Structure 1
């Protein structure tokens, strides 16, 4: 399976702008979870599948191939790991993670007196 590259049509974008291609890739089932798990530490196939409870081997294999082709992860001495680009992507998500925590706290109902 070939990952779609910038300039090619993706869901929601006929122009294939890089941000739309990235969002399409990250919006695929399990993609973000795989990246997040590998951000914690490298893992071999079985360990990664165990960390992503409920992920079938075929979907994991497909996502790993897509993410490798997109150069977001690579094979290392300890199994799959984030590439330099993958680490940069996760660093971009950290402020969004902080924002999401604040957002979630604001959604909680106010305490009653």
Structure 2
């Protein structure tokens, strides 16, 4: 889908432009919890509790917000199964799967290179 840039001209998107609509998507994907949730869902559909256990340190509120934003952007599907109690599963859409590829590479790079980085003392 082509959108109109602020100048009114049809052009390719420029993430460096202040009003480019792709900035919201970049913000979403550059978020730590989004990147980790997408990575966790690469293994297949998961329930909320499974995701929360996998993403150690995320609060239920932040995970809920993250999953809603990912769903709003078309990155994941939320499927509700009519059972008691309600059974909800999250899975990547094809768009989410395509985003998982570069995010997986970034996570691997971080794990491989963390020992070479300067890490300031806490509180600095």
Q: TM-score range by the shorter chain?
A: 0.5 to 0.7
State the shift of 1:55 in Å. 0.8
Give the structure with the higher percent strand.
2
For 1:72 and 1:58, how far apart are their aligned partners in 2? 19
2:26 aligns with 23
- 3-state SS of 2:42 partner: helix
Selected match of 1:81 from 64, 79, 91? 91
- 3-state SS of 1:81 partner: strand
Q: CA RMSD in A?
A: 3.2
State the shift of 1:97 in Å. 6.0
For 2:101 and 2:32, how far apart are their aligned partners in 1? 21
For 1:24 and 1:34, how far apart are their aligned partners in 2? 15
For 1:29 and 1:104, how far apart are their aligned partners in 2? 17
State the shift of 1:88 in Å. 1.4
State the shift of 1:79 in Å. 1.1
TM-score by length of 2: 0.61
- Unaligned 5+ segments in structure 1 are 1-6, 109-113
Give the structure with the higher percent helix.
1
For 1:58 and 1:13, how far apart are their aligned partners in 2? 31
Larger radius of gyration: 2
Aligned residues: 97
State the shift of 1:104 in Å. 2.9
For 1:65 and 1:53, how far apart are their aligned partners in 2? 19
